[in-house]
Amino acid sequence: MKKMLIAAALITLVGCTSPSSPERHALYYARHDPTMAGGNYVKNPTETARLNLPTYQKIYKQGQEAKIKGFTPEQAQSVAEEINQASANATGGTETYMNMKEHKTQITPDERASQLWGKTLKDTFMDGYNGIK
């Protein structure tokens, strides 16, 4: 009985680990992306966050490297703003129908999604710079 109680307590504690900054920001973006709504989409924030996670981890690492290189807080904020601005048209591109090259459709960037993408990447960079896990 005592072993079962200890095992249950350990399982509970292991399940309470908080997600990392890149994981939190990727999930926040996936849950609040305004382009993933409507009758033609099945929204799966967990999968979207998983697919975007490498990008968030890369930006987080850049923030850590900026701190190691000795960037001042003002310089780090400037780099974070550049990341935000570079994401202005991130939600645009082309889409193909059933992978048929002749059926390409131009996707106009969604301003709200681009702003959200840029803001979450900016916040992830600053978390890396500030050492927020």
- Structure confidence by residue, pLDDT tens digits, 57-72: 999 999 999 999 999 9
Is 85 within a domain?
yes
Is 13 within a domain?
no
User: What pLDDT does 93 receive?
Assistant: 64
Residue 69: CA atoms inside 13 Å, Cβ hemisphere, count? 12
What global pTM score does this model have?
0.75
124: containing domain: 20-130
Is 79 within a domain?
yes
Is 1 within a domain?
no
Is 70 within a domain?
yes
CA trace torsion 50, 108, 62, 80 (10° rounding): -130
User: What pLDDT does 114 receive?
Assistant: 87
* Dihedral sign (CA 93, 96, 101, 107): negative
